[in-house]
Amino acid sequence: MLTIGVLASGKGTNLQAIIDAIGRKEIPAKIGIVLSDNRDAYALIRAEKAKIKSLYISPGKFKTYLEKKVEKNYVQVLKKEGVELVCLAGFMRVLKRDFLNAFPEKVINIHPAFLPSFPGLESWKQALNYGVKFTGATVHFVEEGVDSGPIILQAVVLVKDDDTPETLHQRIQEKEHIIYPQAIKLIAERRIKIKGRRVLAGDL
Ligand code: GRF
């Protein structure tokens, strides 16, 4: 059974979707630990409620990434718990090469847009402001670039005339909660092959 580590900075609805899918026995995996760079992340409480080990590790002095020694500590803690797959679920910091090299092709992320459109922050707002008619959610492998790794699964969300950033983000999140557990299931069942930029999963 695959051991997962989840990194989350915020409310943790994606973490909850993963917890629930594992609880329904849809994914042959267990969550070894939840780590957060934010002491007040509701994700930590969700972990506690689900009786999953969780830990706040202070990110250090930078805003957008972890201090080098802190990042090393994140890796150590994850390895100690036997984590094989790292799932970023609203983790608001960019991971550097040393972290990614510690888990080659085993770090994934959920992004609230139909990549490669609108990488970066608040992409539902970017989509709304740009005026696209469709946006969505993307699960992808993490590489050094921001939101740029090979795509595992995507879902489309229709933009409505009366959408606000909040209503659009809400519908994107509903899709996230479906495709993130699905992507983890594919990996846990070893059904995924990476060929360059393409991630092949056979017939879904
Ligand atoms: C999600 O929209 C995800 O796509 C992005 O951050 C948000 C996290 O939400 N990376 P939650 O904390 O899982 O509710």
169 catalytic? Reply is no
Per-residue pLDDT tens over the stretch 146-165: 999 999 999 999 999 999 99
Q: What b/e readout covers 107-127, taking b as 16+ CB neighbours within 10 angstroms?
A: bbbbbbbbbeebeeeebbbbb
Q: How far is CA 182 from the centre of its chain?
A: 12
The Å distance, Cα 175 to ligand 1 centre, comes to 11
- In this prediction, residue 204 carries a pLDDT of 63
Stretch 62-69: mean pLDDT, rounded?
93
| Pocket perturbation via mutation, ligand 1, pick of 14, 18, 42, 148 by most ligand atoms within 8 A of CB | 14
The Å distance, Cα 125 to ligand 1 centre, comes to 14
The Å distance, Cα 92 to ligand 1 centre, comes to 9
The yes-or-no verdict on residue 75 having pLDDT over 70 is: yes
Q: How far is CA 31 from the centre of its chain?
A: 13
The yes-or-no verdict on residue 126 having pLDDT over 70 is: yes
3-state helix, strand, coil in the chain (%, to 5): 35, 25, 40
Q: What percent of the chain has pLDDT over 90?
A: 97
Give me the catalytic one of 111, 140, 169, 177. 111
Last residue of a domain, one of 73, 104, 135: 104
Stretch 161-184: mean pLDDT, rounded?
98
Q: How far is CA 180 from the centre of its chain?
A: 7
Per-residue pLDDT tens over the stretch 1-59: 999 999 999 999 999 999 999 999 999 999 999 999 999 999 999 999 999 999 999 99
Distance of alpha carbon 92 from alpha carbon 16, whole angstroms: 17
Stretch 169-183: mean pLDDT, rounded?
98
- In this prediction, residue 203 carries a pLDDT of 67
For residues 79 and 118, state if they share a domain. Answer: no
For residues 195 and 127, state if they share a domain. Answer: yes
Domain containing residue 131: CATH number: 3.40.50.170
Query: What residue type is 5 in one-letter code?
Result: G
Domain residues for the domain of 74 are 1-104
The Å distance, Cα 46 to ligand 1 centre, comes to 14
Q: Whose CA is nearest to atom 14 of ligand 1?
A: 13
Coil vs helix vs strand at 140: strand
Distance of alpha carbon 38 from alpha carbon 42, whole angstroms: 9
- In this prediction, residue 202 carries a pLDDT of 76
Last residue of a domain, one of 104, 122, 146: 104
Last residue of a domain, one of 52, 87, 104: 104
| Pocket perturbation via mutation, ligand 1, pick of 9, 13, 87, 178 by most ligand atoms within 8 A of CB | 13
Q: Whose CA is nearest to atom 9 of ligand 1?
A: 90
The yes-or-no verdict on residue 115 having pLDDT over 70 is: yes
Instruction: Specify the number of domains making up the chain.
Output: 2
Q: What percent of the chain has pLDDT over 70?
A: 99
Binding site, residues? 12-14, 63, 109
Residue 97 Cα distances to 102, 110, 140, 166, 188, angstroms: 9, 19, 17, 34, 24
**By C-alpha distance, which of 135, 140, 178 is closest to 16?**
178
Distance of alpha carbon 163 from alpha carbon 139, whole angstroms: 23
Coil vs helix vs strand at 180: helix
Stretch 158-184: mean pLDDT, rounded?
98
